[in-house]
C-alpha cells in the first residue's frame, strides 16, 4: 500500500462522514480515524518542523492599488491533500502570511493537518498574497484553492 492509496482512503472517510476505516491484509493493519469538529483543535499537536527566517517576515499594511494591478497574473496555491487548514504554526502564534504579504519561492504559507501529521504548504512563486481563500481550522479538500498570489 502506498501513500496515495492511504490518502484516497482518508478522502473516502471524510466524504462519507465516517469516523474511521480499518483495513487489514496479511502483513499490515491500517486504521484511519477522522477528527471532527472541536476535538480537532484540542487534539492538535505542534508541527514537526517550523522554518523561520528573519528575512521572510511579512510586511504590514495593505498593498497600494495601481492602475496596472488588474493586469498582474494571479497564481493559485491549491491544497495537495484533504485535511485541516491552519494559518499559523500554533494557536497563539501570528499567521504565516496576511493579504499583502510578500512571499518568495519556498516560503511557508500555512499548515495542513492530515492524519495527525502537520504538513507545511509552501509557495512555488515569488509574489504578494492577494487573497486567502479559506478560514483558519477549516477542513479543505484536495485541489481546493488556498491562496491567490499576484506574481512579481
Residue 147: phi and psi, rounded to 5, are -140, 150
Judge whether 129 and 147 are in contact, CB under 8 Å. Answer: yes
CB atoms under 10 Å from CB of 75, counted, come to: 16
Per-residue confidence (pLDDT) for residue 80, from 0 to 100: 97
- The candidate with the shortest Cα–Cα distance to 34, out of 17, 47, 46, is 17
Per-residue confidence (pLDDT) for residue 34, from 0 to 100: 66
The secondary element (H helix, E strand) that includes residue 62 is: none
Per-residue confidence (pLDDT) for residue 36, from 0 to 100: 55
Per-residue confidence (pLDDT) for residue 51, from 0 to 100: 43
Going by C-beta distance under 8 Å and a sequence separation of 6 or more, which residues neighbour residue 112?
Answer: 79, 80, 81, 83, 84, 85, 86, 118, 119, 121, 140
The residue length of the chain stands at: 152
Model pTM above 0.75:
no
Per-residue confidence (pLDDT) for residue 69, from 0 to 100: 47
| Mean pLDDT split into 10-residue runs, the chain, 152 residues | 74 74 71 57 44 44 49 88 96 96 97 95 96 97 97 90
Class of residue 25 by CB neighbours under 10 A (exposed 0-12, middle 13-18, buried 19+):
exposed
Per-residue confidence (pLDDT) for residue 118, from 0 to 100: 95
Going by C-beta distance under 8 Å and a sequence separation of 6 or more, which residues neighbour residue 90?
Answer: 46, 47
Q: Say if domain 46-151 classifies as CATH 2.40.50.100.
A: yes
Per-residue confidence (pLDDT) for residue 84, from 0 to 100: 97
Per-residue confidence (pLDDT) for residue 29, from 0 to 100: 72
Per-residue confidence (pLDDT) for residue 71, from 0 to 100: 57
- The candidate with the shortest Cα–Cα distance to 120, out of 151, 146, 100, is 146
Domain map of the chain by residue range?
1-34, 46-151
Amino acid at each position: 500500500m502506498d501513500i496515495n492509496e492511504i490518502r484516497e482512503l482518508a478522502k473516502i472517510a471524510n466524504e462519507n462522514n465516517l469516523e474511521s476505516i480499518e483495513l487489514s491484509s496479511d502483513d499490515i493493519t491500517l486504521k484511519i480515524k477522522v477528527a471532527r469538529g472541536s476535538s480537532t483543535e484540542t487534539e492538535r499537536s505542534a508541527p514537526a518542523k517550523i522554518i523561520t527566517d528573519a528575512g521572510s517576515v511579512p510586511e504590514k499594511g495593505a498593498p497600494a492599488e495601481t492602475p496596472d494591478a488588474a493586469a498582474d497574473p494571479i497564481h493559485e496555491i491549491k491544497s495537495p491533500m484533504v485535511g485541516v487548514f491552519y494559518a499559523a504554526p500554533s494557536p497563539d502564534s501570528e499567521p504565516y502570511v496576511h493579504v499583502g504579504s510578500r512571499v518568495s519561492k519556498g516560503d511557508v504559507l500555512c499548515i495542513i493537518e492530515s492524519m495527525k501529521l502537520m504538513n507545511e504548504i509552501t509557495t512555488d512563486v515569488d509574489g504578494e498574497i492577494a487573497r486567502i481563500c479559506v478560514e483558519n481550522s477549516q477542513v479543505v479538500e484536495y485541489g481546493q484553492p488556498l491562496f491567490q498570489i499576484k506574481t512579481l
